Chains A and B, each alone.
Chain A
Amino acid sequence: MSNDDILLQVEDLTTSFRIDDQYYPANDHINLDVYENEIVAIVGESGCGKSAFGHSIMGMHSQEQTKISGKIHFKGADLLSYSNTQLNKVRGKEISMIFQDPLTALNPLMIVGKQIEEGMKYHTKLSKNKRKQKAIEILSEVKIPQPERVYSQYPHELSGGMRQRIVIAIAIACEPSLIIADEPTTALDVTIQARIIDLLKELKRRMKTSIILITHDLGVVSEMADRIAVMYTGEFVEIGETKNFLKNPLHPYSKSLLHSLPSKNNQGEKLHVIKGVVPSLNHLQRQGCRFKPRMSGTDDSIHEETPTLREVEKGHWVRCTCYKHFQIDNHNQVVEGEKDDVFQGQ
């Protein structure tokens, strides 16, 4: 991958939310490149700032409640300098979004066909009939049976999986070059999840679209993503290629995440638990390594004072030096007296 292939370049992005008249960054000086025709997964716990990141790229945050700084280069323009009207030309046409909950992401009073067409109305010069034709085509592209019939159905007449296909259809309606998929499979059951993942992969292959996949499901990531960026408290702590990352995670947080998944190798063992919770935005300690409070029994000296993201091998970036000193030994992970807090593995 060369620099010419870069589709989206996020530089020093800081997104702060207002809580009681004070602004707290939910994304803290973020840098990320997204190349053409690739799927980048952003992984992290709930509340780590991954959705906030996705929303920032599209300018979806309410302007009264957020402050955004940095640069978002997309096809030679800085999206952050765009006005709302200018952004409306990009949204849906160049960058689109797939939302988490298909039950609420569709307007209950509008037939799904019209909802798919709506973007085309503002981004293309297609006539009404052409738009309808295209919408029906897209419906069959997202594998909806009887697209003509479904075109004039209301969301409540469709199942959850079908609705998620509609949400995807809306996102691809104008053939964008970047899709931000914000937990596209979280609200679906496992069998439907697999089909939606296959669909997204196929669409990406055919349309040569890049996808930013926001998720906390490492299973989905391993099946789809080319690269992974792990986010913790609004910062990326590790970025790497999927295969490499899954084999050799470096940052303590990434390691802990992977070890807390049940797998064939840890049958009968207690799953690893990361102690504590993600601190809330207004109680977050922003000095030093942010993961330190959740690593018990480590020496302060292993952390950097101002941790930075460093390339430790080609294409593999890690924040802070503490990764060099962190090991998870499955058999000794659970300390006596803390059993109550531990999820019992199978």
Chain B
Amino acid sequence: MWKFVVRRILIMIPQLVVLSVLVFILAKVMPGDALSGLVETPGVDSSTIEDMRTNLGINDPVHVQYLNWIKGLSQGDLGTSYIHQRPVLELLEARLWNTVYLSAAILFLTYLIAIPLGITAGRFHDSLVDKLIVGYNYVTYATPLFIFALLMLFVFGFQLQWFPTGGSTDINLEPETFSYYMDKIYHLLLPALSGALLATVGTIQYLRNEIIDTKMKDFIKTAKSKGVPEAKIYSHHILRNSFLPIAAFLGYEITGLITGSIFLESIFSYPGIGQLFLQSISQRDFSVVTALVMVTGVATLIGTLLSDIILSLVDPRIRVE
């Protein structure tokens, strides 16, 4: 097992190098830089801007810039944001946690809704309940998140005023107190629920199909022929087998925890990674953009690794020696 994990991590090194080159090239190929917007500003002449460029290292040869960037990266230095004039790491940290909370809440709510519904639909498939659940699935699958989220915000945030309409916490509250954390959860609920209600579709459909599939398997007949009561056939035989693909996806879902949801964060003005990403692109704040893409890439690699590990833990057939 450990050998397998170490080997997987070693394979990740070349993947990371390729990823960093790609990210760097993409950032460089994009037209303009953080100083482009300053050209028209009165009182700033172009030679000053050119000096600023030289000082920031933007005029260095590409490979020098790349090596500098990698050197910083390996020391945990993600650079400085041109726009915010703060280290990128500092900028990310606060928002990263917000995103993790939000995504964890979405993931939790998604499973909370999807697993019981998926099991019910699979167990009583072709019944009225199943048809209702599949109907719900079609609706949520066809609904665009940005419209649904706006609608939720309008109804529950502005009209009914049950939930706050933006931010991640009330700024008047003392951090690290109980009411501060409760308030954070309160701010989380509406965006998380909006995300979760639409995110259930994959899990429900997978679980339902897996259960219907597993029900027909020969080993279920074997279990029945042993005299195992139906409820126990479900809990001991069908469900464990049906959860395999869901478990395999868990790793990728964890990736989602870090990369966040751009739409949700923008609509609910929730200060997370996604919102920062959009802002940074429009402001040409490339040190932030490249850092974010790198973080996302690393998260994806870790996610696939986790998926493999989880699957090998739950399925003896792919247990790695």
A109-161 contacts to B, CB under 8 A, are 109-110, 115, 118-119, 122-123, 154, 156
Q: Is the CB of A108 within 8 A of B317?
A: yes
Contacts of B225 in A (CB 8 A): 58, 60, 91-92, 96-97, 99, 171
Q: Is the CB of B218 within 8 A of A104?
A: yes
| Distance of B241 from chain A, by nearest CB (Å) | 6
Contacts of B219 in A (CB 8 A): 104-108
- Interface residue count on the B side (C-beta < 8 Å): 21
A58-111 contacts to B, CB under 8 A, are 58, 60, 84-85, 87-93, 96-97, 99, 101, 104-110
Q: Is the CB of B221 within 8 A of A60?
A: yes
Q: Is the CB of B218 within 8 A of A88?
A: no
B293-321 contacts to A, CB under 8 A, are 314-317
Taken together as a complex, chains A and B put the C-alpha atoms of A90 and B227 apart, in Å, by 7
Taken together as a complex, chains A and B put the C-alpha atoms of A107 and B237 apart, in Å, by 7
Cβ of A289 under 8 Å from chain B = no
| Distance of A175 from chain B, by nearest CB (Å) | 13
| Distance of A13 from chain B, by nearest CB (Å) | 19
| Distance of B190 from chain A, by nearest CB (Å) | 39
Q: Is the CB of A123 within 8 A of B227?
A: yes
- Interface residue count on the A side (C-beta < 8 Å): 33
| Distance of A316 from chain B, by nearest CB (Å) | 32
Q: Is the CB of A122 within 8 A of B223?
A: no
Q: Is the CB of A92 within 8 A of B218?
A: no
Given contacts A109-B315, A156-B316, A156-B317, contact A91 B224 (CB under 8 A): yes
Contacts of A92 in B (CB 8 A): 225-228
| Distance of A40 from chain B, by nearest CB (Å) | 19
Residues of A within 8 A of B (CB): 58, 60, 84-85, 87-93, 96-97, 99, 101, 104-110, 115, 118-119, 122-123, 154, 156, 167, 170-171, 173
Residues of B within 8 A of A (CB): 217-219, 221-230, 236-237, 240-241, 314-317
Task: Supply 7 further A-B pairs (C-beta < 8 A) apart from A91-B225, A154-B316.
Answer: A58-B225, A96-B226, A99-B225, A105-B219, A106-B219, A108-B219, A123-B227
